[in-house]
């Protein structure tokens, strides 16, 4: 398997530090608001990475943190007249609710920053002792950026370029404007903890370094997060961790791309901020996950209602094919007709192609292409009046369903019961379009009665009315069945 390493700016063969064991740390949310689609993308990306690493035989220890003390949390708590703990607890619960519906597996450890205050204070003290950090008269502790020679190596930024034009704000006690806070002295209205430097709270960057060292050991194999974390958060993590341990902090840096809303960067200030719950109000969670997997994780992802509509059509196509294959396999009699040799070759090509795509830097978009490839193959076989009844076709359909079952555990989609999912999808789409299902049922019954009475003019009028609503009616041996486009 190859992964793109942000540090080297290249794809590299992934080789864990300990063969067969992977230490993975991903930056989690700052718990002060509902999660947005950017959080959903990052969560799905690293969920699939964990699933696939385990699928290919690795034992993965996956750690994802919660930032439960931070300026934004404190500001929210003060504005609502409550505590930071209450705010963090509320939004961590909301995070779980959103991510559980999205099919995100729980990590092996989910540390909260407030549970590791002692470890953070100890790390800051080690940095002071090593000359990489300093305490100010007011009790703040800053990391001395110029003391770490490799600063900027992850983001590709030059210290001198960053230094140009940078200024120390009035009242700050930094030696250098590039220095960043490891510990912040207590202020009125803020949560506070005791430390060797006096009462205060840790800086944001410090928590991930302390928790990853405590829970995973150094160096960790993979550190992940969104591209927005490369600088300054991950750059600062590297500096403080490597300055403290005197060695490598992380071997592979993996970052997912941004989400854009209708080609614009998502931003609250632009008014194009989309929460996961906004999407759940209109689409099934599995449709959202399918949409997020439709692009390679490092690419920018353009979110739009049209994109979700296309994802809904795509996932419906796969589930419909699954249902048709499952129904076809209930056939009691099969012929001994032989299949052309290229049928098996085509299936094998898609099976191998799925694995190759996942091995190539987790290319889920390409892997999805092979999902649709086996669906197309199954459709051609079932539609053929001769091959569709072949015993060899039955074996191919079973193999396709088995492949889809394996792929569903890797991708976290396509594993639901086919009939139940399609029914839920129809209900969701009708609700989104504001169409009453009972009205459709009534029209379908009325059409059927008109046909029986040979009132074809009336039947055609009803058909046109249904078509105007996007409804198609299929006349089957068991009666008319309708669906919404």
pLDDT of 71-122, one tens digit each? 999 999 999 999 999 999 999 999 999 999 999 999 999 999 999 999 999 9
Give CA–CA dist 110/49, Å, rounded.
17
- Residues with Cβ within 8 Å of 321's Cβ and at least 6 positions away in sequence, in order, are 375, 378, 379
- Long-range contacts (CB closer than 8 Å, 24 or more residues apart) made by 170-178: 173/136, 173/137, 173/138, 173/140, 173/142, 174/136, 174/142, 175/134, 175/142, 175/144, 176/144, 176/145, 176/146, 178/145, 178/146, 178/151
User: The CATH number of 319-420 is which of 1.20.120, 1.20.1260, 1.10.10, 2.30.30?
Assistant: 1.20.120
User: 192 to each of 144, 279, 315, how far by Cα in Å?
Assistant: 24, 37, 49
What's the pLDDT at 331? 81
- Where is 222: in which H helix or E strand? strand 220-226
Quick one: what percent of the chain has pLDDT higher than 90?
Answer: 86
Q: Which of 285, 283, 128 is nearest to 195 (CA)?
A: 128
Give CA–CA dist 104/66, Å, rounded.
15
- Residues with Cβ within 8 Å of 181's Cβ and at least 6 positions away in sequence, in order, are 140, 141, 142, 143, 203
What's the pLDDT at 170? 64
11: region left, alpha or beta (phi > 0 left; psi from -120 to 50 alpha): beta
Tell me the CA end-to-end span of the chain in Å, nearest whole number: 39
**Which SS3 state, helix, strand or coil, does residue 188 take?**
coil
Low-confidence residues in the chain, pLDDT < 50: none
What's the pLDDT at 165? 63
The edge-to-edge listing of strands for the beta sheet with 301-303 is: 264-265, 259-261, 301-303
What's the pLDDT at 164? 65
What's the pLDDT at 263? 77
Contact at 8 Å (CB) between 197 and 183? Answer: yes
Fold classification of 2-276 (topology level): Rossmann fold (3.40.50)
pLDDT tens-digit profile of 275-289? 999 999 999 999 999
pTM: predicted TM-score of the whole model, two decimal places? 0.94
What's the pLDDT at 294? 95
Residue where the block lists tokens 């403080």 = 240
Neighbour count for residue 380 (Cβ, 10 Å): 13
Q: Which of 73, 196, 193, 56 is nearest to 135 (CA)?
A: 196
Give CA–CA dist 60/52, Å, rounded.
10
What's the pLDDT at 268? 67
pLDDT tens-digit profile of 396-414? 999 999 999 999 999 999 9
Residue 269: phi and psi, rounded to 5, are -65, -30
Q: Which of 377, 380, 398, 379 is nearest to 334 (CA)?
A: 398
């Amino acid at each position: 398997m190859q992964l793109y390493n942000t540090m080297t700016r290249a794809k590299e063969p992934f080789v864990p530090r300990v063969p067969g064991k992977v230490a993975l740390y991903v930056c989690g949310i700052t718990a002060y608001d509902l999660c947005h689609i950017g959080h959903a993308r990052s969560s799905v990306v690293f969920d699939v990475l964990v699933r696939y690493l385990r699928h290919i035989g690795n034992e993965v220890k996956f750690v994802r943190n919660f930032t439960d003390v931070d300026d934004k949390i404190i500001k929210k708590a003060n504005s609502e007249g409550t505590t930071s703990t209450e705010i963090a607890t509320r939004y961590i619960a909301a995070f779980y609710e959103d991510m559980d519906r999205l099919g995100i597996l729980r990590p092996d450890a989910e540390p909260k920053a407030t549970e590791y205050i002692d470890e953070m204070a100890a790390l800051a003290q080690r940095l002071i002792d090593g000359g990489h950090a300093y305490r100010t008269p007011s009790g703040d502790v800053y990391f001395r950026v110029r003391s770490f020679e490799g600063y900027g190596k992850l983001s590709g930024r030059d210290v001198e370029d960053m230094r140009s034009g940078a200024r120390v704000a009035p009242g700050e006690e930094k030696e250098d404007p590039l220095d960043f806070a490891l510990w912040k002295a207590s202020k009125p209205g803020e949560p506070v903890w005791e430390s060797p430097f006096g009462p205060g709270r840790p800086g944001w960057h410090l928590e991930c370094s302390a928790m990853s060292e405590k829970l995973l050991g150094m160096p960790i194999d993979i550190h992940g997060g969104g591209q927005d974390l490369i600088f300054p958060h991950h750059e600062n993590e590297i500096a403080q961790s490597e300055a403290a341990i005197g060695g490598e902090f992380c071997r592979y840096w993996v970052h997912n791309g941004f989400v854009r809303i209708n080609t614009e960067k998502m931003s609250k200030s632009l008014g194009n901020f989309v929460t996961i719950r906004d999407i759940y109000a209109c689409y099934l969670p599995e449709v959202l996950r399918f949409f997020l997997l439709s692009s390679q994780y490092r690419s920018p992802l353009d979110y739009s209602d049209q994109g979700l509509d296309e994802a809904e059509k795509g996932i419906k196509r796969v589930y419909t094919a699954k249902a048709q294959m499952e129904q076809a396999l209930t056939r009691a009699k099969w012929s001994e007709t032989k299949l052309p040799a290229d049928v098996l070759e085509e299936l094998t090509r898609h099976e191998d192609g799925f694995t190759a795509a996942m091995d190539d830097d987790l290319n889920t978009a390409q892997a999805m292409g092979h999902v649709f490839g086996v669906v197309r193959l199954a459709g051609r076989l079932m539609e053929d009046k001769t091959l569709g009844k072949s015993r060899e076709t039955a074996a191919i359909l079973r193999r396709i369903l088995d492949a889809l079952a394996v792929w569903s555990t890797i991708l976290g989609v396509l594993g639901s019961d086919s009939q139940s999912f399609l029914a839920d999808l129809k209900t969701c789409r009708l609700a989104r379009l504001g169409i009453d299902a009972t009205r459709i049922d009534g029209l379908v019954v009325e059409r059927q009665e008109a046909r029986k009475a040979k009132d074809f003019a009336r039947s055609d009028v009803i058909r046109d009315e249904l078509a105007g609503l996007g409804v198609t009616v299929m006349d089957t041996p068991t009666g008319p069945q309708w669906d919404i486009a």
